[in-house]
């Protein structure tokens, strides 16, 4: 039977045939020898014959089909695999030239003259290179900041200024209340007490996180900045800008506290600078500062770097963590929890007694907390 140009499609079944040696294909009614409307599946018998024959070239247009072997005058080596037919534009004749020449090879044949061993070696090299690139990408420090902020060169001026202002608000809000308590200055009743100092620092930090968290990440604490940088959550090259801005903001806050309460603020209250309490050694004070800063930075890592934590709770959680630290350490070290908060008033007051423990203690505690959360709990799911 004359079937004309292949491949042959069955309208009824949606199965097409591209091998003239397929008896199923040759038995299709002439009116069904056109592209079908089904899912375009290749006949199983054609697939078997194609696998046995290997890559071939398609028959010429107008050639008659030989039911036993192929088109008249054309050998079996001229048949195309099904992929070749599907690569032609819709409506193109089977024997018409393809838009671009295609090279077909038998299954298992090597590419570009390489043997199977060389080809396998090349593929393994490519896989290793891809895996190495992905690993390096994962190890790159993230440029994203806390609370949805974006940290890069184009935003650094604004981020640094936000850290300066945020640290100013935090330190001024806390130290002014502390100086008021030390000087026993009443407001609408009794003077402030230790409870007011802890609450003032906690509320101030909550307000700062809500105000500038989306701008700079609201670190406002060198211990937070260095802890995040140590775990790859913050670029090291921006750490000096942040720490410098935080220190300047703290010193300006100490000056503001001095202006607010006048000479006694500096002469009698030392601008609420933190020092070990009477009878407390430097080593004990150092360890306490490690403990309380660990609490703060652990909470920051949990609510600000982990996408599973609800974003709305972050300012409250971080503020409460700082308040807890001041409550605990206030009677022992003054509860700095922040090298900038400690150094700012110390520098302006002109008294750097035991300053080292208020620098190293919070940094050690912050780095430990950051590593603990990042290396363990950041990838942990709750059971159940």
- Structural domains of the chain sorted by starting position, each given as residue range(s) with its CATH number in brackets: 8-86 (no CATH), 148-379 (1.20.1080.10)
For residue 201, pLDDT over 80 is answered with yes
Average pLDDT, integer, range 157-175: 97
- Average pLDDT estimate for 169-197: 90
- Residue 205: pLDDT over 80: yes
- Are the C-beta atoms of residues 305 and 228 closer than 8 Å to each other? yes
- Please provide the average confidence, as pLDDT, over all residues in the chain: 79
| pLDDT tens string 63-108 | 444 444 444 444 444 444 444 444 444 434 333 444 444 444 444 4
DSSP 121-168: HHHHHHHHHHHHHHHHHHHSPP-B-GGG-B-SGGGHHHHHHHHHHHHH
Q: What is the pLDDT of residue 322?
A: 98
The torsion defined by the Cα of 26, 32, 38 and 39, in degrees rounded to 10, comes to 30
Length, in residues, of the chain: 384
The DSSP symbol for 231 reads: T
Distance, CA of 202 to CA of 199 (rounded, Å) = 5
The percent of residues in the chain predicted with pLDDT above 70, rounded, is: 67
* CB 20 within 8 Å of CB 49: no
Q: What are phi and psi of 164, to 5 degrees?
A: -60, -50
Give the ranges where the chain is alpha helix by DSSP (H).
23-26, 44-53, 82-86, 116-139, 156-182, 194-216, 222-230, 239-261, 263-267, 282-304, 314-329, 339-349, 355-375
Per-residue pLDDT tens digits for 362-381 = 999 999 999 999 999 987 76
Convert 335-354 into a string of H (helix), E (strand) and C (coil): CCCCHHHHHHHHHHHCCCCC
pLDDT in tens, 108-137: 444 455 677 777 777 778 777 777 776 665
Nearest to 253 by CA among 311, 182, 333, 172: 172
CA atoms of 259 and 266, how far apart (whole Å)? 9
Contact by Cβ (8 Å): 318, 299: yes
In this prediction the pTM is: 0.63
Given a cut of 80, whether residue 48 has pLDDT beyond it is no
Instruction: Identify the pLDDT of residue 384.
Output: 56
Both tokens of 107, joined, read 């299954």
């Amino acid at each position: 039977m004359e079937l004309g140009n292949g491949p042959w499609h069955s309208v009824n079944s949606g199965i097409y045939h591209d091998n003239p040696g397929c008896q199923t294909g040759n038995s299709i009614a002439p009116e069904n020898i056109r592209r079908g409307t089904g899912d375009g599946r290749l006949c199983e018998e054609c697939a078997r014959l194609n696998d046995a024959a290997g890559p071939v070239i398609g028959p010429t247009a107008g050639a008659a089909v030989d039911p036993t072997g192929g088109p008249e005058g054309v050998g079996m080596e001229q048949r195309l695999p099904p992929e070749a037919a599907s690569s032609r534009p819709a409506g193109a004749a089977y024997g018409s030239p393809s838009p671009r020449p295609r090279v077909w090879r038998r299954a298992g044949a090597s590419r570009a003259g390489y043997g199977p061993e060389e080809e396998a070696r090349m593929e393994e090299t490519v896989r290793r290179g891809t895996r190495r690139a992905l690993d390096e990408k994962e190890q790159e420090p993230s440029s994203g900041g806390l609370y949805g902020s974006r940290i890069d060169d184009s935003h650094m001026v604004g981020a640094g200024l936000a850290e300066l202002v945020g640290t100013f608000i935090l330190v001024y809000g806390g130290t002014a209340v502390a100086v008021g308590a030390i000087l026993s200055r009443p407001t609408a009743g009794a003077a402030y007490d230790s409870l007011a100092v802890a609450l003032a620092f906690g509320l101030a930090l909550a307000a700062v996180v809500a105000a500038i968290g989306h701008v700079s990440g609201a670190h406002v604490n060198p211990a937070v900045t260095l802890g995040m940088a140590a775990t790859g959550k913050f670029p090291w090259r921006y750490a000096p800008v942040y720490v410098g801005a935080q220190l300047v903001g703290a010193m300006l806050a100490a000056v503001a506290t001095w202006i607010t309460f006048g000479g006694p603020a500096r002469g009698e209250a030392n601008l609420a600078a933190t020092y070990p309490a009477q009878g407390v050694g430097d080593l004990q004070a150092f360890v306490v500062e490690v403990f309380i800063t660990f609490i703060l930075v652990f909470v920051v890592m949990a609510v600000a770097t982990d996408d599973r934590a609800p974003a709305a709770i972050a300012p409250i959680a971080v503020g409460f963590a700082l308040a807890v630290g001041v409550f605990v350490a206030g009677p022992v070290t003054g509860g700095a929890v922040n090298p900038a908060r400690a150094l700012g008033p110390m520098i302006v007051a002109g008294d750097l007694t035991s300053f080292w423990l208020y620098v190293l203690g919070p940094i050690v505690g912050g780095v430990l907390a950051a590593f603990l959360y990042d290396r363990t709990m950041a990838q942990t799911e709750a059971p159940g």
